[in-house]
Amino acid sequence: MSVWAYLAATLGVGVGACVRFSLGWLDRPKTFPWPTILANLLGSALLGAVLALSDGGALSPGATFALGTGVAGGLSTFSSLAVDALVLWRDGRRTAATAYLAGTLVLGLASAAAGFAVADALA
Q: Which residues are annotated as a binding site?
A: 73, 76
Q: How far apart are alpha carbons 44 and 38 in whole angstroms?
A: 10
* b/e code 10-46 from CB counts within 10 Å (16+ = b): eebbeebbebbeebbeeeeeeeebebbbbbbbbbbbb
Q: How far apart are alpha carbons 116 and 65 in whole angstroms?
A: 16
Q: Could you list the residues known to form a binding site for Na(+), using ranges.
A: 73, 76
Containing H/E element for 113?
helix 94-122
- For 100, phi then psi, to 5°, come to -60, -50
